[in-house]
Structure 1
């Protein structure tokens, strides 16, 4: 919440030249918390791919730069309660791209890093971070989404996909 309040204060100051008082900032945050879950929804390909992974008895989970409790709320509200393995920044005390957070995800899945694929929409933090941690990093570069691709002047040497459906052939699932 503190980061969110800092962001809104930064935006407020930049646009209006003033900061919000404490009560206004807290009211804004309450409205944000009420409104945000309305917009949680997975991309269309998520359910298809999770169904295929479950049918093939391949474990999956999520590693997030949010705290675990908040990420759990987001997953549950978006209809993804089925994602059981979840690692947040508070789980191991560090954010991505620190290798420890990826290793904890692999541990929760019961796999070693070398046998674990990590898919994310941020080139630097997700794909390259996973690779540096010894996982197979996959950059999900959705044309219609606004992830954080990173520097435009470099290429990713690993796997890049535009949809999660493209993962299935890589895993021998169709």
Structure 2
């Protein structure tokens, strides 16, 4: 996360156009994503060789969901979104998630960090359309959370506790 934020800050000094800057960031991160697991493995990171990282079997639902979120932020105007630090970090997080979705399996863990910034950005908005779209997004996330709980992501005891909320 630090690298992405630092790299975007460096790009800001050289490239003033937000769309061009995000395109350059996306291309760089996409190229690097093919080498990140190999570099981590060669550095001796124990988790780099784990079976859940080597066998990346994403269904594509998260990619579609967050593509719509990126499209929503695009419709808001990338310059408007990047005016606030919350919007900028939320936009970068969604972009990084989408770039890493099919190449690096840790993208699902990254998006949970960046979603907080997206929600703060939306809460600070004064537009009723933003509230409605974020409410729909929240409902979809709650539905996906319920499916994740029931599809053996928790122990049986955990499923019984969390099924009360569903």
Instruction: Provide TM-score, normalisation by structure 1.
Output: 0.29
Q: Could you say which structure has the higher helix fraction?
A: 2
TM-score by length of 2: 0.30
Q: Which has the higher contact order (CA 8 A, sep 6+)?
A: 2
Q: Which has the larger strand fraction?
A: 1
